[in-house]
Structure 1
Amino acid sequence: MANILRALLTAAVLAAIVVRLRRRGSRTKAEPVPSPAPKAGESRESPGSTGSRWVPVSVAAGALVITLAVVLTPSVSRGERADSVAGPHVTPAASAAPGFRATGWMFGSRTTGSQNTASPTGSQNTASPTGSLATASPTGPLATGSPIGAEADPAAGPTPSPSVTPPPLACPAPRRTVTVRAISPQVRQAVARQWRRIERWMAANAPRSLAELGGRGRVGTVAVAEARMGVDLPDDLRASLLRHDGGLILPPMQVGPAYGTRQILRSWREHCAGGGGVLVRADDGSWAVRPVIPVASFAWLDPVTGAVDYTLPQSSSSFPVRLGASWAHALRAVAVALEGDLPVNGFRPRVVDGRLRWETAN
């Protein structure tokens, strides 16, 4: 309809031009200029027989025809022209790589995989890689079952993130009063049991790794770290730090040795400055970054769920790998792998020059 209106307006303008040109030609005819006598053998043209007067009319008519042809020809929209140049349109959901920032994992300066920082509210695949956010850190006996972790299946896709309870923590959180908190005796015993298994194996097979374990941590140092972080460390992690303040070689080797208390605090500050944490969804549908506790170079512990996950910088998969449902479970996975020469997430223990190493299982 709009094209037809434009054509009619154009035709009206051109018609007005034609009328004006014809009137001008009529005035010229009313006052003829005497023409010279024709030469011998030439005939005089009458004023009415000349076609010069109709040249403007012909031009105007031709312009009208061209304009109507252009206007009434089916046009191609800008979007269609852009698509023909740029190729088929791809929606953001289909083109976005499943990096950790898109699927719920951000780890400050340690971030790996995709660097996409788009808001997750437009995608339904955004998830927290740490599982249920409502479960608390373990305070009772360890659950039975296979302690050997398994890498998340990328084909299955991320698990939808449940609501967060309690609300996301602040990072960095305001400092609080230093308070020494008691550790559950059951958790302390469970952690000590796994450490004894690891220590026995190292004493018999990897004495240099045993000597490189951190010494006993101090209750006051752990309490100060909690106060400065504004986060309560899970009981099993605190019990482990009090027995060995870091130094355990975790599988795989790229994850690095476990952090001690001071390293945890220092790395926590670095990742807070870089906006590190897990992306969680609140009850009102909003999204927030909940900080996590770094326990090694590329491993972290969720302070709400207690789960331990890791990722590798050179891995082709952008999904985190679960090392244990808690720190105590991660220790148990290591102990079982050492005693039974079993792989953990595809990495088998080996001893090289008296030191524990984790190599890819054949």
Structure 2
Amino acid sequence: MGKLLRRALTVAIVIAIGVRVRRRAQTPESPPPQEPPPPAASVRRSVAPAWLLIAGAVAVVAATVLIRTPAQDAADAGLRRHLGAQNTPGPQPVPSPGDLTNPVTDEWVPPTGPPAPIGRAVQRPSQEPTAPSSDPGCRPTVRKPVVRPLDPEIKRAVDRQWRLIERTLKAQDPHAYRSLGPRGSAGRIAVAEAQMGLRFPDALRASLLRHDGTSGFDLGRGAAKLYSIREIRDAWRSSCARDPGWQADRIPYLDGRLGHVDPRTGAVFDGGDQVAGSFLSLLHAAAREAA
């Protein structure tokens, strides 16, 4: 449109210059005898045709620019489709859960990284270990961690057993008392559950919230180390990756032994033998043994 307007103005200027040159050519070199000036109306009549010609040229050019043709509309539509296709983002990768938590806030932090290029998905290496186990539970569906409510009655009962154990260890075995882990985080438990595809029984969750792992005190079947939340997750992954006969619906809790918890019933096993009906019963037996 800018080029057309410039051409219209150029045509108008050329016409004006032509009219002026023509008038000068008609003027004699020697001035004629002094005559009275023509009336203003005759001057306006002589100039009017030139300006009408200029205005007509400008109007023709403006009409050419402003009136759109079907060909111009089709060309503009094609350009808009081309630009829209370039700005349409391609498929984005599905994020996988990150490691357990932020060590400062104790909350789950999703993985971060540079944004995916437009129009092309990014192939990221999986953080999960290769699982030769035939059990499909070793490859759980990725899902968002959810902190589930805990039964308050079970929480109070578990804390009561732990207080008995702590009091006995503090008086009789200060070294074992100092080995008790700090309080666990509900967010860490939720992330471990999401990564393992399992739901921890309430008694086990209450115990982990009281002590996130221990080392070396008697559970009624000999001294043993209780896994922390992270160690439960890592032991489960390691068993899936190395033991083809491992069943993924087991929650390991005991270091150096085949101790595990059944997530469906809450029962506690040592190898193939059931040793307690729940983790609360296991702590109750440990408290009696310690006393």
Bigger fraction of residues in strand: 1
Bigger fraction of residues in helix: 2
Q: TM-score, normalised by structure 2?
A: 0.49
